[in-house]
Structure 1
Amino acid sequence: MYKLVVWLGLAAGMFSCAKPTEEKPPNIVIIVSDDHTRQAISAYGSTIAQTPNIDRIAEEGVLFTNAYVTNSICGPSRAVLLTGKYSHKNGFRRNSDSKFESDQDQFVKHLQAGGYQTAWIGKYHLGEDPQGFDHYEILPGQGYYYNPDFFVKDSGRVNRTGYVSDLVEDAAEGWLDRRDPEKPFCLVIGHKATHRTWMPDLQDLDKFDAVTFPLPANFYDDYEGRQAAMEQDMTVDKTMRMAYDLKMYPEDSKDRNIKRMTPEQRAQFDAHYQLIHRELDSLNLSGRELVEWKYQQYMRDYLATAESMDRNIGRTLDYLEAHGLDENTIVIYISDQGFYLGEHGWFDKRFMYEESFSTPMMMKYPGVITPGSKSDAMVMNLDIAPTVLDAANVVIPEDIQGESMLPWLTGPQKQGREVLYYHYYEVGEHNVSPHFGIKTDRYKLIRFYDQVTSWELFDLEKDPSEMQNVYGQERYQEVQETMKGKLLETIKKYEDAEAEALFHEDISTAEGMKK
C-alpha cells in the first residue's frame, strides 16, 4: 500500500510538471526614428556609419531587407503605424494640412482592451491629444534637439534641460519604472533624430570631422527622362541652406534651435561650428567644390546626430535586460521612412524611389524569431499593427489593411507581399509632385499627378539606382501593361478612389515629358 501511494504521488508530480503553464503575453517596445535610412545602419552593410545598438536588435532577431512605407513623410507614416491603414483610410495624408482623428481605431486601443498598459514617449507629430495611451510625454510638433518641451499627460507642457535623445530615453525608463509589473505593456519610443536640421549632441559634434565621405555615384544626376525628379527642390546644391542646415550662422543667429540653448551649451556649440565657418571662408570655394563641401558637412551632422539615438537605443535594450524583461519583450526598430544621403544629389525623402520608399526595420521576438536571421519578404510599416496584435493574441480588426508578418517569419510561407502599394499626397513641399504606384520583386511603376503628369517604369534588376525610365519603350510594353493591371488591381484592393480616377485619365508619354 505504501508503494502504491508513493507511486501515485510521483506520477502526480510528473504530470503536474508536464502540464504547460499559461504563457504570459509578450511586452512590446516599438522604437520609431525620424528620417534614419538604411544607408546609415551597419546592420544593412553601411560602410559610413556604425550603429552597434540598433544592430543588436537584428542580431537578436530578424533584419527585414525589403521593408517599405506607404507614404514617405513622418506624420502620415506614424498614422499608418497606429491604424494599420493607408493614408486615404486613416485621414492623415499630409503633414501640411491633415488632422489626425485620434478617436479612430488604433492597435493600442485593442491592446488596452486586452489588458496592456500603453505609452508613447517622444516625437508623435499627430497633434496633442493621443488616444489609446495610458500615458504620454510627447514633443510638440517636430520638437527641438536642445532643451525641448514635452506635453505630459495630466501635467501639460513641461520644459526639460538636456539633449532630446537622452530626455526621451529618460522619460521612457521613468514610465517603465512606474508601470504595473503585473500587466504586459506596449511602449512606443519616438526619436526626433535624425530629422532636419541635424543637430548632434555636444559630445558627438566632432565624431566625423576627420572623415571624407564618398560621393554617391549618381550625385550629379541630370534626371533625364524623369520630369518629376527634374522639377524637385531638394538638392544639396540649391536647396540646402548654409545657416539653417549647416550651422554657418552669422554672429547673432535668430534660429530658435540655437536661442533655446543654455549659455554653456551655446558656447560649446558655437566653438565647434565657428571653427568650421572660418575654415570655409578661408577656402573661398565655388561651383562643384562648394557643393561637395556642403555634402561633407551635411553627412557629418546627420551621422553625428544619429550617434546619440543609437546610444539611447542601447540604453533601452540594457534596461530590458537589467530588469529581466528582455526574454518576453518584442522589440521593433523602424524609421518613419528612408532618406537621401546624396543619392540623385538629394537630401529629404517623399519620392517612391528606393532610398525614400524603403525603411530600416528589424524585430526581436525571443523564442519565436531565430536570432541573427534575415527576411527578404516584402513588408510594410502597414504590417506592424496587425503583427503586434497577432503576437499579443488579440483579434485583428477586419478593416486593418496590413497583414501580420508572423506567418512569414515562423511558417513555411516566407514570401510576404507580392506587390507593394504607395501613395504620396503633399503638394509644394520640396516641389515633389504627388504620386502613387506599385513595386514588385523586379519592377516599379509610378504615376505622377498634379504638378507633373507622367508615368515612370523601372527595371530594378537592370537599373537598381532608378536612372532609366523605360515607360513607353517598345521592349517593355508587355511589362508595362502587366504592371498597370497589377496597379489597378491593388488600387481597388485598398479602395483608393482618388488613385483609381487618376489611373483612368488618358495621358500620353509626350504630355508627361513636357516642359
Structure 2
Amino acid sequence: MDHGIGRILDWLEEKSLRENTLIIFMSDNGMNMGHHGLYGKGNATWPQNMFDTSVKIPCIISRPGFVPQNHIDTNLLSQYDWFPTLMEYIGLEDQVPQGLPGRSFSPLLEGKILGERESIVVFDEYGPVRMIRSREWKLVWRYPGGPHELYSLIEDPNEKNNLFNSPGYADKIKTMRRDLEEWYSRYVDPRLDGTKLPVTGRGQKARADEEGAFAYRFFE
C-alpha cells in the first residue's frame, strides 16, 4: 500500500499537479485487534457492535499550501458529510440535492474554523443496530429487542461500563432515542431499512480467547 500511494504521489509531482490535488486517505470502518475481546469490525459479533474501535476511521487529508500540515482535527464528523464537503470545495454546493444527511466541513480543509453547527451528533447503522453518538454520550439501539447500550464517553472512553440499565439515565435514553428515531425517519430509504432486513454471514460469538469463538454462522 505504501508503495502504491507513493507511485501516485510521485506521478502528481512529475506532472506538477501535487499542489492542485486534494488527497484523502481513509478506510470504511475501524478494526478491533483484541479490543473488547474482538478481532474484526462491527460484524465481528452478533448482534453487531458499535464500539468506537469498530466505527471510527483513520482519515488523512493532504494538499500542500492549502490543507494545514501536522494538524489533528477533533471535530466530530461522519462519512455522510463528505459529499456536501467536496461539492462545496469545488464550488458546486448549489448542486447538492436537498434532503440529504450531512453538512459540509469544507472550511476545515483550508485551515479555517468550522462554524457553529445545529448539533454535533453522528448516526450510524449496521444491520438491525443503530447508534447515535455525541462527544459526551453514545446510545446503541438493537432492533427489535436489544440488548441496548449507553456509554458516558467522557468518563468511559473505552466503553466498558454499559449504563443502559443503571438508575438515573432514563431521561437521557429517552431523549437520545427520540433523536435517533427522528433522524432515521427523515433519511432512511424504506427499501433499505436495516432494522427490517435479514442478516447473513459469519462472525465472532464469544471472546477471542474462548474455544469456538470464530467462524460462527449466524444465519444460513
Common fold: TM-score over 0.5: yes
> Could you tell me which of 24, 30, 34 is aligned with 1:332?
24
Give the counterpart of 2:162 among 451, 469, 478: 469
- TM-score normalised over the length of structure 1: 0.33
1:441 to 2:139 alignment: no
Matches within 5 A, 1:72-471: 309-350=1-42, 351-394=49-92, 395-410=95-110, 411-413=112-114, 418-425=120-127, 434-449=128-143, 453-471=146-164
Contact 2:18–2:63, Cα closer than 8 Å, also in 1: no
SS at match of 1:386: helix
User: Partner residue of 1:59?
Assistant: none
Q: CA–CA distance in 1 between the matches of 2:143 and 2:195?
A: 12
Q: In 2 relative to 1, CA 342–383 (structure 1 residues): closer, same or farther, beyond 3 Å?
A: same
Aligned mates of 2:63, 2:116 — CA distance in 1: 19
In structure 1, give the amino acid aligned to 2:120: E
Q: 1:401 to 1:387 in 2, by over 3 A?
A: same
Deviation at 1:442, TM superposition (A): 0.9
Counterpart AA for 2:125: H
Gaps of 5+ in 1: 1-308, 426-433, 502-515
Alignment check: 8 A CA contact 2:129 2:195 kept = no
Aligned equivalents of 1:320, 1:391: Cα separation in 2: 20
Letter in 1 for 2:124: Y
Task: Give the distance between the partners of 1:477 and 1:396, measured in 2 at CA.
Answer: 38
The 8 Å contact of residues 438 and 446 in structure 1, kept in 2 or not, is answered as yes
Higher relative contact order (CA 8 A, sep 6+): 1
> What secondary structure does 2:39 align onto?
coil
Whichever structure has more helix as a proportion of its residues is 1
Describe the shift of the 1:437–1:464 C-alpha distance in structure 2 as closer, same or farther (beyond 3 A): same
For structure 2, list consecutive stretches of 5 or more residues without a partner in the other structure. Answer: 43-48, 197-220
Letter in 2 for 1:357: V
Q: What is the one-letter code of the residue matched to 2:177? A: K
Q: Is the 8 A contact 1:378 1:415 kept in 2?
A: no
Letter in 1 for 2:37: G
Give the Cα–Cα distance (whole angstroms) in 1 for the partners of residues 60 and 186 of structure 2: 27
How many residues in Structure 1 have an aligned counterpart in Structure 2?
A: 184
TM-score (norm 2): 0.73
Identity among equivalent pairs (%): 30
Question: For residues 423 and 391 of structure 1, do their structure 2 counterparts lie closer, same or farther at Cα, with a shift above 3 Å needed?
Answer: same
The offset of 1:409, in angstroms, is 4.5
* Larger Rg computed on CA atoms: 1
1:465 and 1:412, CA in 2 relative to 1: closer, same or farther beyond 3 A? closer
Over 3 Å counting, the alpha-carbon distance change for 1:437 and 1:453 in structure 2 is same
Distance in 2 separating the partners of 1:356 and 1:499 = 18
RMSD over aligned Cα, in angstroms?
2.5
In 1, the alpha carbon distance for the partners of 2:194 and 2:173 equals 18
How far off is 1:492 after superposition?
3.2
Q: Displaced runs of 4+ in structure 1, greater than 6 A?
A: none
C-alpha displacement of 1:456: 1.0
Q: C-alpha separation between the residues in 1 aligned to 2:61 and 2:183?
A: 27
The one-letter code of the counterpart of 1:445 is: L
The structure-2 alpha-carbon separation of the partners of 1:462 and 1:379, relative to structure 1 and needing over 3 Å to count, comes to: same
